[in-house]
Amino acid sequence: MQQLFPGEVFANTADFDTGIRQLLPRYDEILLVITRCLPFTSRRILELGCGTGELSLRILNRCPDAQVVAIDYSPRMLQFAQAKITAAGYQQRWTGLEVDFGEWANHPEKIGIRQEFDACVSSLAIHHLQDEMKLKLFQRIRESLCEGGCFWNADPILPESPILAEVYKAVREEWAAQQGTTLTEIRAKTGTTSTYGHSSQDQLATLDAHLQMLTKAGFETVAVPWKYYGLAVFGGWV
């Protein structure tokens, strides 16, 4: 079985966009919520762990003046995203960088990403960091945002109890069935994840723990604009 970086999920990158929609309930709604929470006038946006470029594409559609700097440590994901962005005609407004955002959190001076972003976004990526690194990353994001800037993250969250863990699992199974498949069939297309940099297999935290980390990192206001069982979009403003 092919070894994958955390976040690549599927052995074949071309399976990602369909597979993630079967695996995670309301994936498109998640991306829509993040996009809606960005000011229409945003000019510089940082995306952490851009994957196949689905969120970047929506942001470029919504924010006509936005330049997106998208980072990911997976060369094949970046290549896939670049092709998608180019096909949509947005290549002049999108820059993809092969960067580990955990390394950026620890040593920003080595990465060379200019600060002063209007917004930072991420989807299905930060949960691969241990909590200590999540906090460090939130602090780095806070320092990189302009005054009044915002950060929005979509991730699976740790169930607060074993009962909820069963509920969340059942919801995902029902969702897969509605898509005409099963979690077992979907997972047959996935690969074995290996640790890469600061990321490894799922390192989930509760929603409350995330909000506490954001507050500790210096976000003035934290919010949860969307939650659906074991998935949430959360973040805030500086």
pLDDT at 84: 97
| Contacts (Cβ under 8 Å, ≥6 apart) of 187 | none
pLDDT at 1: 46
pLDDT at 200: 58
Q: What is the pLDDT of residues 16-29, one digit of tens each?
A: 899 999 999 999 99
Residue 21 lies in a domain: no
Residue 90 lies in a domain: yes
Q: Which domain holds residue 73?
A: 27-156+198-237
Residue 47 lies in a domain: yes
Residue 178 lies in a domain: no
Q: Are strands 117-123 and 44-48 parallel, antiparallel or unpaired?
A: parallel
pTM over 0.75: yes
Residue 112 lies in a domain: yes
pLDDT at 135: 98
pLDDT at 131: 96
3-state secondary structure 153-189: EEEECCCCCHHHHHHHHHHHHHHHHHCCCCHHHHHCC
Residue 11 lies in a domain: no
pLDDT at 130: 95
Residue 2 lies in a domain: no
* Regions of the chain where pLDDT drops below 70: 1-3, 5-9, 191-201
Report how many domains make up the chain. 1
| Contacts (Cβ under 8 Å, ≥6 apart) of 238 | 142, 145, 146, 147, 148, 149, 150, 151, 218, 219, 220
CATH of the domain at 93: 3.40.50.150
Residue 227 lies in a domain: yes
Q: What is the pLDDT of residues 167-200, one digit of tens each?
A: 999 999 999 999 999 999 988 887 666 555 555 5
